[in-house]
């Protein structure tokens, strides 16, 4: 399914992968960089999202929309929509262009703002990808987990690349009776939590 993606999505992904690669080499300031997931993480998330139970599919931290394209593939394959949150205006502008170019506007809703102000409104979460500033992880986790349906997945990126910053989130999930969790050593390290 993800091996034969539409040309528009594939070419847009390639364009973003090239910008991200260049950003990391040329000293682009951190907040301007796309800081997106590598392709193997995208494929991993799409496979997980395609197997999530019925409910809402959300993403916290859109940047230019690269990971959202992978999730949009899963949503399209399973007849759902993705809602993705981005706080920075310039990234929202880039993500809009990404979704238009890739032809996924029919399955993606982009919300401009701090996700923490909106998450209480999502009461039946089936899949959540958390990829925001690390200081926001604990708060986002606590806002999302109570609203996850049984069998829902929360995936949080960077738990190996930012091990020190996110150790409390990983430890908290391991001790949380509401979820089963494991760290998958894919890309920058993805914490997977499944609602019991």
Distance in angstroms (rounded) separating the CA atoms of residues 149 and 146: 8
Structure-block tokens of residue 107: 């399955």
Q: How far is the CB of 54 from ligand SAM (least distance, A)?
A: 24
The span of 1-9, 101-109, 130-138, 188-196 binding ligand SAM (CB under 6 A) equals: 130-138
Q: What does each C-alpha distance from 129 to 24, 57, 82, 132 come to in angstroms?
A: 23, 8, 10, 9
Task: Please choose, out of 43-51, 56-64, 143-151, 180-188, the segment that lies near ligand SAM by the rule CB under 6 A.
Answer: 56-64
Query: What length is written for the chain?
Result: 196
Strand order in the sheet with 179-184: 108-112, 82-86, 56-60, 125-130, 148-157, 190-195, 179-184
Task: Pick one of 97, 133, 142, 180: the residue that binds ligand SAM (CB under 6 A).
Answer: 133
CB within 8 Å of 110: residues ≥ 6 apart: 62, 65, 68, 84, 86, 92, 95, 96, 99
115 binds ligand SAM (CB under 6 A): yes
43 binds ligand SAM (CB under 6 A): no
Q: Which of 44, 58, 61, 94 binds ligand SAM (CB under 6 A)?
A: 61
Regarding 114 and contact with ligand SAM (CB under 6 A), the answer is yes
102 is a contact residue toward ligand SAM (CB under 6 A): no
Q: Does 19 bind ligand SAM (CB under 6 A)?
A: no
* Ranges within 154-173 binding ligand SAM (CB under 6 A): none
């Amino acid at each position: 399914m993800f091996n034969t993606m539409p040309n528009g999505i594939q070419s847009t992904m390639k364009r973003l992968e090239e910008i991200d690669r260049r950003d990391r080499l040329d000293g682009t300031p951190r907040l301007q960089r796309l800081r997106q997931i590598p392709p193997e993480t995208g494929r991993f998330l799409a496979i997980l999202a395609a197997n999530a139970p019925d409910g809402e599919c959300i993403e916290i931290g859109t940047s230019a929309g690269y990971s959202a394209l992978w999730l949009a593939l899963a949503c399209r394959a399973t007849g759902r929509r993705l809602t993705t949150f981005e706080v920075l205006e310039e990234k929202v502008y880039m993500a809009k262009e990404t979704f238009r170019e890739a032809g996924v506007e029919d399955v993606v809703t982009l919300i401009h703002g701090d996700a923490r102000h909106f998450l209480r409104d999502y009461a039946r979460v089936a899949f959540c990808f958390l990829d925001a500033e690390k200081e926001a992880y604990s708060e986002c986790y606590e806002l999302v987990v109570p609203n996850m349906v049984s069998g829902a997945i929360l995936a949080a990126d960077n738990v190996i690349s930012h091990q020190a910053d996110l150790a409390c989130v990983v430890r908290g999930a391991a001790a949380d009776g509401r979820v089963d969790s494991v760290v998958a050593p894919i890309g920058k390290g993805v914490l997977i939590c499944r609602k019991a």
